[in-house]
Amino acid sequence: MSTAVPLPLPEIDPEPPEWRVEPGLLDYPRAVAAMEARAEAIRAGTARELVWLVEHPPLYTAGTSAQAADLLQPDRFPVHRTGRGGEYTYHGPGQRVAYAMLDLKRRKPDVRAYVWALEEWLIRTLDRLGVAGERRDGRVGIWVRRTDRNEPWREDKIAAIGVRVRRWVAFHGVALNVEPELAHFDGIVPCGISRHGVTSLVDLGHPVTLADADVALRAAFDEVFGPGGPMGPTG
């Protein structure tokens, strides 16, 4: 009888998330329904994780913490109640929304760590596009100092974050302002914060397209969520 010790099988890298770019402007209820279905399939093990890059027609969404008083112009655009965390936000043309449907059980089952990773994804994306994005305690999202206007004390929001986690599968995601109509944010108090403004890459003087942003998002995602990254797969 052989006494040889069997060699361990090599580790197999988990299948990376699927990436999809949605053409045109995507109806918001359709997006939510698709995310719900994909998240359930990921939980059941019948579908891969997905990063879905979309653009919406002008609309407002109300997260689970939204206050009625923060909807300043209720008749301006359609308003959609949604199960993600957070307050009111705007989506519209020129804004890249990245819906990330990820299995946190195979990454890190820690919601705070996941939100940090989403922030890091946006910060590294912006860095690739020549912008210094920053976190702020007590203010969700990514912020920039308006040094371009010689107003370093002024801080404007360039990206929003809103997530929902069900049975450790995360969905919803992030929204990066590339070149949206910034006046459309005037109908709400974005994320319940009235003391600061909103900006975009183009407003900051960076002539970036959605396609440029997509390349940066993909590269930065791989750094944060790929193998070896702070929210990379562990099994």
Biggest alpha carbon distance in the chain?
81
> What's the token pair of residue 52?
């879905």
C-alpha closest to that of 135 among 122, 150, 149, 153 = 122
Roughly how many angstroms between the first and final C-alpha of the chain, as a whole number? Answer: 34
E-strand stretches of the chain = 18-21, 50-54, 59-62, 79-81, 88-91, 95-103, 134-136, 139-146, 151-166, 169-177, 197-198
C-alpha 200/C-alpha 96 separation (Å) is 11
Verify whether residue 191 is a known catalytic residue.
yes
C-alpha 213/C-alpha 125 separation (Å) is 8
**Of 104, 142, 191, 217, which one is the catalytic site residue?**
191
What's the burial of 121, exposed, middle or buried (CB within 10 Å: 0-12/13-18/19+)? buried
> What is the phi/psi pair of residue 108, to 5°?
-155, 115
C-alpha closest to that of 115 among 145, 91, 146, 137 = 137
Give the three-class secondary structure for 211.
helix
Write out the catalytic residue numbers: 191
